[in-house]
Amino acid sequence: MPTSPRSDPRPVIGITAGELVATYGVWTEEASLTPAAYVHSIANAGGVPVVLSPVAGIAEALADRIDGLLLTGGVDVDPALSGAEHHPKTQEPDPVRDDFEIALLHAALARELPVLAICRGIQVLNVVRGGTLIQHLPDVVGNHDHMPIRGAYGPHHVRIDPDSQIGTLIGSSEASVPTHHHQAVDRVGDGLVAAAWADDGTVEALEDPAQAFLVAVQWHPEVGDDPSLFEGLVAATQRAGVLGRA
């Protein structure tokens, strides 16, 4: 039976989640988790947020049902995916989530869906494109400015290419951004270009000029006060003409 177009014109944005042991009420059990700030940021930007749990074998089906993709922060990407040895400071990898997000990203890009990648997301994107990662940033830059407080976000300055898509969205060549990460982009992956940098030279944003909307940032806009990247993602789905699918 053919499907009818959706009656709600708002785009459906898939938001990736991790599976972690969580405690709530009287329960301690494995749960699908993503910070609520991502969900509310998409909703406030005019999208319909849908949380995507890392389940094997469903990436293609999910990509057929969403209009855009948000890759979120989370556990460190497995260094083996870029041919690196495990650094002592690298977290234990989550191969299920790695495999799921890599498959989902491939499926989304094959369908030319707009993609916004945040923190872990920029690292997943860079690895998928053949790039490499700095596994423990303080070893390279000699400071802890990117993760100044354990369990909290701290601000730092970034310089933004004003001619980049990210620069156009943010509308400024510099910004103070919320940050919490100890890994970062090292060698930039194929087809990607750097669009923002921290004062210590760390790459803070990537984009693909050949794609209508494939942008990634190392910082956490969902906990900041600038909604422009989320608004850009939602607007890109509307320009892409992917609405009206079931």
Q: Which residue in this structure is represented by tokens 């942008």?
A: 215
- Which amino acid, 207? E
* Domain count of the fold of the chain: 1
Domain residue limits at 125: 12-240
Q: How many other CB atoms are there within 10 angstroms of residue 180's CB atom?
A: 19
* Residue 156 belongs to some domain of the structure: yes
pLDDT for res 2: 43
For the domain that residue 141 is a member of, what is the CATH number?
3.40.50.880
Q: How many CA atoms lie within 13 A of 245 on its CB side?
A: 17
Which is catalytic among the residues 101, 204, 207, 222?
222
**Which tokens in the block code for residue 44?**
């406030």
The answer to whether position 5 is within a domain reads no
Asked if residue 235 belongs to a domain, the reply is yes
Give a yes or no: residue 34 inside a domain: yes
d(CA 164, CA 166): 5
Question: What was the pLDDT predicted at 142?
Answer: 84
What gap in Å lies between CA 103 and CA 68, rounded to an integer? 15
Active site residue 220: yes
Q: Which residue of the set 19, 85, 220, 231 is catalytic?
A: 220
Asked if residue 134 belongs to a domain, the reply is yes
Tell whether 6 is covered by a domain: no
Structure tokens at 119: 């923190």
Q: Which residue among the candidates 119, 181, 204, 207 is catalytic per the annotation?
A: 119
215 membership: H or E segment, kind and range: strand 214-217
pLDDT for 168 equals 97
222 included as an active-site residue: yes
Residue 143: predicted pLDDT: 82
Is there a domain that residue 52 lies in?
A: yes
| Token couple for 229 | 């990247």
* Intervals of the chain under pLDDT 70: 1-5, 241-246
Distance separating alpha carbons of residues 126 and 198, to the nearest angstrom: 18
With respect to residue 4, please indicate whether it lies within any of the assigned structural domains. no
